[in-house]
Amino acid sequence: IIARIYRNLGLQRELVFSQESDLGSETQLMPPEIPHFDLSTKMVSALGFGMVEVSSYGPGIEQEVKNKLRDLCHEGIAVVYLNLPIGDPRTAVLCQRFEELGFFFSGIQPRPDGKDLLCLQYLNGPHIDYDLLQIYSDFGKELVEYIREQDPLT
């Protein structure tokens, strides 16, 4: 779906698909020479959403995302977005782990510098009635259907 989104936007990106086996052991996934991760959090209480953005991975990133999710949900945030560096091969593996926490695909965020983001979302209570959405384009309809299929609450 990511390749189709890029094509639909008229953007050319080289896509390489990784699996955990491609990265080898846990040590190779988070090598000790990368001592820290870089993560930021924003919360907009008035709109009921929070955003966690990972700029780089390092040991402890999974637990930190889990902690941020818990904190935002405890604050009553209805939707938590998780943005991951799409160009990092570890994103494919870690995305699966974040999906186990209840995050699911919501799109991509292309950036002029090419450091695009994979965007996931977590719904803390609200149920989306996808049938109420009015989508103009055929591709938009396909995209909404794909997201609906990923939504653990449907």
HSE, side-chain direction, 13 A CA sphere, residue 152: 14
Percent of the chain residues topping a pLDDT of 90? 62
Question: pTM for the complete prediction?
Answer: 0.84
Q: CA distances (Å), 119 to each of 35, 81, 104, 107, in order?
A: 25, 7, 8, 5
Structure tokens that stand for 69 in this block: 């999710």
User: Quick one: pLDDT band at residue 114, thresholds 50, 70, 90?
Assistant: confident
